[in-house]
Protein backbone atom coordinates (compact mmCIF):
# COMPACT_ATOMS: atom_id res chain seq x y z
CA UNK A 1 0.00 0.00 0.00
CA UNK A 2 1.33 3.41 -0.95
CA UNK A 3 0.78 6.65 0.93
CA UNK A 4 -1.94 8.93 -0.41
CA UNK A 5 -0.75 11.86 -2.48
CA UNK A 6 -1.00 15.29 -0.80
CA UNK A 7 -3.85 17.40 -2.15
CA UNK A 8 -2.76 20.83 -3.35
CA UNK A 9 -5.97 21.54 -5.29
CA UNK A 10 -8.35 24.32 -4.27
CA UNK A 11 -11.41 23.28 -6.28
CA UNK A 12 -14.61 24.66 -4.77
CA UNK A 13 -12.70 27.00 -2.44
CA UNK A 14 -13.25 30.75 -2.21
CA UNK A 15 -10.00 32.66 -1.70
CA UNK A 16 -9.45 36.33 -0.85
CA UNK A 17 -6.04 37.97 -1.40
CA UNK A 18 -5.33 41.55 -0.32
CA UNK A 19 -2.63 43.63 -1.94
CA UNK A 20 -3.39 41.63 -5.07
CA UNK A 21 -2.95 44.30 -7.71
CA UNK A 22 0.70 43.47 -8.35
CA UNK A 23 3.76 41.60 -7.10
CA UNK A 24 3.40 38.78 -4.61
CA UNK A 25 -0.32 39.24 -4.01
CA UNK A 26 -1.20 39.08 -7.69
CA UNK A 27 1.01 36.03 -8.22
CA UNK A 28 -0.64 34.19 -5.32
CA UNK A 29 -4.09 34.97 -6.72
CA UNK A 30 -3.02 33.63 -10.12
CA UNK A 31 -1.71 30.39 -8.60
CA UNK A 32 -4.87 29.93 -6.54
CA UNK A 33 -7.05 30.44 -9.61
CA UNK A 34 -5.03 27.88 -11.56
CA UNK A 35 -5.47 25.45 -8.65
CA UNK A 36 -9.24 25.72 -9.00
CA UNK A 37 -10.17 28.42 -6.49
CA UNK A 38 -12.67 31.20 -7.02
CA UNK A 39 -10.42 34.16 -6.27
CA UNK A 40 -11.27 37.65 -5.07
CA UNK A 41 -8.43 40.11 -5.61
CA UNK A 42 -8.44 43.13 -3.29
CA UNK A 43 -6.43 46.34 -3.66
CA UNK A 44 -6.92 50.10 -3.47
CA UNK A 45 -6.54 50.97 -7.14
CA UNK A 46 -9.74 50.11 -8.97
CA UNK A 47 -8.34 50.10 -12.52
CA UNK A 48 -5.39 47.90 -11.53
CA UNK A 49 -7.41 45.33 -9.63
CA UNK A 50 -10.17 45.17 -12.26
CA UNK A 51 -7.54 44.57 -14.95
CA UNK A 52 -5.92 41.80 -12.89
CA UNK A 53 -9.22 40.02 -12.28
CA UNK A 54 -10.25 40.50 -15.90
CA UNK A 55 -7.05 38.90 -17.14
CA UNK A 56 -7.73 35.82 -15.02
CA UNK A 57 -11.30 35.57 -16.28
CA UNK A 58 -10.03 35.84 -19.84
CA UNK A 59 -7.98 32.69 -19.18
CA UNK A 60 -11.11 30.88 -18.04
CA UNK A 61 -10.55 31.21 -14.30
CA UNK A 62 -12.99 32.44 -11.66
CA UNK A 63 -11.93 35.86 -10.39
CA UNK A 64 -13.54 38.96 -8.95
CA UNK A 65 -12.16 42.37 -8.03
CA UNK A 66 -12.70 44.12 -4.70
CA UNK A 67 -11.47 47.70 -4.92
CA UNK A 68 -11.02 49.15 -1.45
CA UNK A 69 -8.42 50.28 1.05
CA UNK A 70 -8.07 47.67 3.79
CA UNK A 71 -7.20 50.38 6.31
CA UNK A 72 -10.86 51.40 6.05
CA UNK A 73 -11.81 48.51 8.32
CA UNK A 74 -15.51 49.37 8.33
CA UNK A 75 -15.70 49.32 4.53
CA UNK A 76 -13.79 46.05 4.46
CA UNK A 77 -16.11 44.50 7.03
CA UNK A 78 -19.18 45.60 5.07
CA UNK A 79 -17.77 44.09 1.89
CA UNK A 80 -16.98 40.77 3.58
CA UNK A 81 -20.37 40.62 5.29
CA UNK A 82 -22.12 41.07 1.95
CA UNK A 83 -20.62 37.98 0.27
CA UNK A 84 -20.35 34.26 0.93
CA UNK A 85 -17.66 33.25 3.46
CA UNK A 86 -14.14 32.66 2.21
CA UNK A 87 -12.25 29.41 2.75
CA UNK A 88 -8.81 30.98 2.31
CA UNK A 89 -7.63 34.46 3.27
CA UNK A 90 -4.19 35.80 2.37
CA UNK A 91 -3.61 38.91 4.48
CA UNK A 92 -0.96 40.29 2.16
CA UNK A 93 -1.32 44.08 2.07
CA UNK A 94 1.60 45.78 3.80
CA UNK A 95 4.09 48.62 3.67
CA UNK A 96 7.54 49.67 4.86
CA UNK A 97 9.29 52.97 5.50
CA UNK A 98 12.93 52.08 6.14
CA UNK A 99 14.91 54.73 7.99
CA UNK A 100 16.94 55.11 11.20
CA UNK A 101 14.84 55.37 14.36
CA UNK A 102 16.01 58.95 14.93
CA UNK A 103 14.36 59.92 11.63
CA UNK A 104 11.08 58.07 12.18
CA UNK A 105 8.06 60.38 12.41
CA UNK A 106 4.63 59.91 13.89
CA UNK A 107 3.26 59.83 10.37
CA UNK A 108 5.66 56.99 9.50
CA UNK A 109 4.51 55.07 12.56
CA UNK A 110 0.85 55.56 11.71
CA UNK A 111 1.30 54.49 8.08
CA UNK A 112 3.20 51.28 8.89
CA UNK A 113 1.26 50.22 11.96
CA UNK A 114 -2.15 51.07 10.53
CA UNK A 115 -1.66 48.80 7.52
CA UNK A 116 0.69 46.10 8.82
CA UNK A 117 -0.97 45.62 12.21
CA UNK A 118 -4.34 47.34 12.66
CA UNK A 119 -5.72 46.52 9.22
CA UNK A 120 -4.27 42.99 9.33
CA UNK A 121 -5.97 42.28 12.65
CA UNK A 122 -9.36 43.68 11.76
CA UNK A 123 -9.37 42.13 8.28
CA UNK A 124 -8.80 38.78 10.00
CA UNK A 125 -11.65 39.58 12.35
CA UNK A 126 -14.05 40.24 9.48
CA UNK A 127 -13.07 37.14 7.52
CA UNK A 128 -13.02 34.76 10.48
CA UNK A 129 -16.35 36.07 11.79
CA UNK A 130 -17.93 34.88 8.54
CA UNK A 131 -15.98 31.61 8.59
CA UNK A 132 -17.04 30.72 12.11
CA UNK A 133 -20.67 31.69 11.56
CA UNK A 134 -20.82 29.38 8.53
CA UNK A 135 -18.82 26.57 10.15
CA UNK A 136 -16.17 26.86 7.44
CA UNK A 137 -12.91 24.99 7.88
CA UNK A 138 -10.58 27.69 6.66
CA UNK A 139 -6.98 28.80 6.26
CA UNK A 140 -5.69 32.25 7.21
CA UNK A 141 -2.28 33.19 5.83
CA UNK A 142 -0.71 36.34 7.24
CA UNK A 143 2.12 37.71 5.12
CA UNK A 144 4.92 38.35 7.59
CA UNK A 145 8.65 38.56 6.95
CA UNK A 146 11.99 37.25 8.10
CA UNK A 147 12.01 40.62 9.90
CA UNK A 148 9.33 39.22 12.18
CA UNK A 149 12.04 36.95 13.62
CA UNK A 150 15.21 39.06 13.56
CA UNK A 151 16.21 42.71 13.68
CA UNK A 152 17.84 44.96 11.11
CA UNK A 153 19.12 48.51 11.01
CA UNK A 154 16.72 51.08 9.57
CA UNK A 155 13.77 48.73 10.02
CA UNK A 156 12.62 49.37 13.57
CA UNK A 157 9.03 50.12 12.54
CA UNK A 158 8.80 47.26 10.07
CA UNK A 159 10.28 44.74 12.51
CA UNK A 160 7.93 45.94 15.24
CA UNK A 161 4.93 45.46 12.95
CA UNK A 162 5.94 41.99 11.78
CA UNK A 163 6.85 40.75 15.27
CA UNK A 164 3.37 41.91 16.30
CA UNK A 165 1.84 39.99 13.40
CA UNK A 166 3.70 36.83 14.42
CA UNK A 167 2.34 37.03 17.97
CA UNK A 168 -1.15 37.76 16.72
CA UNK A 169 -0.98 34.74 14.41
CA UNK A 170 -0.02 32.35 17.20
CA UNK A 171 -2.75 33.64 19.48
CA UNK A 172 -5.38 33.44 16.76
CA UNK A 173 -4.29 29.91 15.87
CA UNK A 174 -4.91 28.85 19.47
CA UNK A 175 -8.28 30.59 19.48
CA UNK A 176 -9.53 29.22 16.16
CA UNK A 177 -8.02 25.73 16.22
CA UNK A 178 -11.15 24.21 17.82
CA UNK A 179 -13.16 25.69 14.94
CA UNK A 180 -10.89 24.00 12.38
CA UNK A 181 -9.54 27.30 11.09
CA UNK A 182 -5.77 27.29 10.61
CA UNK A 183 -3.64 30.43 10.94
CA UNK A 184 -0.03 30.65 9.76
CA UNK A 185 2.49 33.16 8.47
CA UNK A 186 4.75 33.25 5.43
CA UNK A 187 8.09 34.91 6.17
CA UNK A 188 10.01 35.81 3.00
CA UNK A 189 13.43 37.32 2.70
CA UNK A 190 13.98 40.07 0.13
CA UNK A 191 11.89 39.22 -2.93
CA UNK A 192 12.47 40.74 -6.35
CA UNK A 193 9.34 42.53 -7.56
CA UNK A 194 8.85 45.61 -9.76
CA UNK A 195 8.72 47.66 -6.54
CA UNK A 196 11.89 46.24 -4.96
CA UNK A 197 14.04 45.73 -8.06
CA UNK A 198 15.44 49.29 -8.10
CA UNK A 199 16.88 48.79 -4.59
CA UNK A 200 19.01 45.90 -5.82
CA UNK A 201 20.68 48.17 -8.36
CA UNK A 202 22.64 49.56 -5.38
CA UNK A 203 25.55 47.11 -5.33
CA UNK A 204 26.44 47.72 -1.69
CA UNK A 205 22.86 47.02 -0.61
CA UNK A 206 22.67 43.93 -2.81
CA UNK A 207 25.97 42.62 -1.41
CA UNK A 208 24.77 43.15 2.17
CA UNK A 209 21.58 41.21 1.47
CA UNK A 210 23.31 38.35 -0.33
CA UNK A 211 25.79 38.03 2.54
CA UNK A 212 22.86 37.07 4.78
CA UNK A 213 21.03 34.77 2.35
CA UNK A 214 22.86 31.46 2.57
CA UNK A 215 21.44 30.18 -0.71
CA UNK A 216 23.11 33.16 -2.37
CA UNK A 217 20.32 34.73 -4.39
CA UNK A 218 17.46 37.18 -4.05
CA UNK A 219 14.06 35.54 -3.64
CA UNK A 220 11.64 35.39 -6.55
CA UNK A 221 7.86 35.64 -6.45
CA UNK A 222 7.68 31.96 -7.43
CA UNK A 223 9.48 31.14 -4.16
CA UNK A 224 6.47 32.50 -2.28
CA UNK A 225 3.55 31.20 -4.33
CA UNK A 226 4.34 27.55 -3.68
CA UNK A 227 4.28 28.14 0.06
CA UNK A 228 1.02 30.06 -0.24
CA UNK A 229 -0.57 27.19 -2.15
CA UNK A 230 0.67 24.68 0.43
CA UNK A 231 -0.83 26.64 3.33
CA UNK A 232 -4.12 27.17 1.52
CA UNK A 233 -4.54 23.52 0.61
CA UNK A 234 -5.26 20.31 2.51
CA UNK A 235 -1.58 19.41 2.11
CA UNK A 236 -0.96 21.52 5.25
CA UNK A 237 -4.04 20.31 7.15
CA UNK A 238 -2.16 19.81 10.44
CA UNK A 239 -0.22 23.08 10.32
CA UNK A 240 -1.35 26.05 12.40
CA UNK A 241 0.33 28.69 14.52
CA UNK A 242 3.51 28.28 12.50
CA UNK A 243 5.82 30.54 10.54
CA UNK A 244 6.92 29.23 7.16
CA UNK A 245 10.40 30.67 6.63
CA UNK A 246 11.31 31.51 3.03
CA UNK A 247 14.49 33.31 3.90
CA UNK A 248 17.23 31.35 2.17
CA UNK A 249 18.77 30.67 5.56
CA UNK A 250 18.89 34.32 6.75
CA UNK A 251 17.53 33.48 10.21
CA UNK A 252 19.48 30.22 10.57
CA UNK A 253 22.31 31.98 12.44
Number of continuous H segments (helices) and E segments (strands) in the chain: 8, 9
Strand-by-strand arrangement of the 38-43 sheet: 63-67, 38-43, 14-18, 88-91, 139-143, 182-188, 243-246
Please, are residues 116 and 110 in contact by the beta-carbon 8 Å criterion? Answer: no
142 vs 242: CA distance, rounded Å: 11
Q: Among residues 158, 179, 212, 214, which one is catalytic?
A: 158
**How far is C-alpha 131 from the geometric centre of its chain's CA atoms?**
18
Annotated active-site residue 179? The verdict is no
Alpha-helical (H) ranges within the chain are 23-34, 46-58, 73-81, 106-113, 120-134, 156-176, 203-210, 221-232
**How far is C-alpha 120 from the geometric centre of its chain's CA atoms?**
10
Q: Among residues 109, 162, 179, 214, which one is catalytic?
A: 162
Annotated active-site residue 32? The verdict is no
Rg of the chain on CA atoms, in Å: 18
Sign of the alpha-carbon torsion through 132, 12, 169, 175? positive
73 vs 67: CA distance, rounded Å: 13
Q: Which residues are catalytic?
A: 158, 162
Amino acid sequence: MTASQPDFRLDGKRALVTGAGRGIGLAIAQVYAAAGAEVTLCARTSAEIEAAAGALRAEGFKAEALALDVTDVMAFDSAITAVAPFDVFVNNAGTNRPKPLLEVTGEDYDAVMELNVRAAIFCCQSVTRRMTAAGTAGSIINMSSQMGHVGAANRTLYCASKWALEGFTKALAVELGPKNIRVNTICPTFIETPMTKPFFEDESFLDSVLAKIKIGRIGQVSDVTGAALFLASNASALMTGSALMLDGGWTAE
